Every structure is written in structure tokens, then in C-alpha cells.
Amino acid sequence: MQELNEAREAHSKGMSLYEMRRRRRDEERAAQDAQNEDEMAKKERQEQQKAARWAAKIRTQEAGEGVPAGGQSPTTLDKFLHCIREGKVVRLEDLAARFQISVEQTIAWIRDLEGAGRLTGVMDDRGKYVYVSPAECKAVAKFIMDKGRVTMEDIAKQTTAAVGLGPP
């Protein structure tokens, strides 16, 4: 019955049933695309607000450092991220001492950065943080997907190799 109604509607508009369905499908896709763009814009605004909160939370460290040619000194947050990413394996005590904060505050910063999606890694029980890049996470995930059933030992070896902490 619905198809008959659609056929009548298409005929009254001077188009084929196929054209009418195609046009309706195109309109639905356009509406979905617009909704997706709105959601992406909302997510971007939320991320900018989160970054602004971080900028307010973390002081800019200026003592003893010159201002780069760009005219703006790097923020403590950027230095914190750079230190972790470059060090790959960092002791939380060393990180806290470098940024003149407590170990608890260092852990809180790391947890907040992980929650914001700006940092990925593993904190061990010996006071170390191991940074794992998104590409390295994907490599380990691909290994697991390709192999199917794997042991914890296989995952540990692959992770160590992917992160570059030891021999493959």
C-alpha cells in the first residue's frame, strides 16, 4: 500500500518512483551530514573549553627561560607532555621535581591528560609512566587482531617491541 502511495506521489510530482526515492535518500543523507557536522562542532568547542581550563589550571613557567622567536613562551602543559613523550619511560618523582609539583599532582595531571585524550600510556606500581603513542597502540591491536588468540606473554613481547623498550 505504501509503495502505491509513493508511486502516486511521484507521478503527481512528474518524476519516477526511483527519482523520488533517490531524492528522499539524498535529503536524508544531507540531514545526517548536517547533524554530524553539528556534533563535530560541539565536540570541538568542548575540547577547546577543556584546553582553556587546562591553561588556567597550569601556570606558565617563565623563570630562567627566554622567550622564543615566536614571542610566546611554551606553556607548562606543553612542556609536561613533551617531557613524557620524549622520555617514553619517566619516573613520576623526576617529573614532579622538574615541574616543582608533588607526585600526587603529577599523577593527577597525567590522569586528566589521559581523560582528555591527549596522552596514552601505562603507570606501573614502581612509580614509572610508560608513554604509548596512538600508532603503537594500533600496532599492538593489529597484532592481536591478526593473531586471534594470544597469550599475555605474546602481548607483552609485542607491546615491548612496538613501544621500542627492548628487543622484539
Q: Dihedral, CA atoms, 81, 87, 90, 92, nearest 10 degrees?
A: -30
Q: Which three cell numbers stand for residue 24?
A: 528522499
Rounded-to-integer distance, Cα 150 and Cα 162, Å: 16
Residue ranges, the chain, pLDDT below 50:
59-73, 168
Share of the chain above pLDDT 70, in %: 85
How far lies 107's CA from each of 92, 132, 164, in Å?
8, 16, 23
Amino acid at 111: R
One-character DSSP codes across 69-101: TTSSPPPHHHHHHHHHHHHSEEEHHHHHHHTT-
pLDDT (0 to 100) of residue 56: 62
pLDDT (0 to 100) of residue 110: 92
* pTM for the structure as a whole: 0.52
pLDDT (0 to 100) of residue 74: 56
pLDDT (0 to 100) of residue 165: 67
Packing angle of the helix pair 152-163, 134-147 (nearest 10 deg): 150
pLDDT (0 to 100) of residue 60: 44
pLDDT (0 to 100) of residue 61: 40
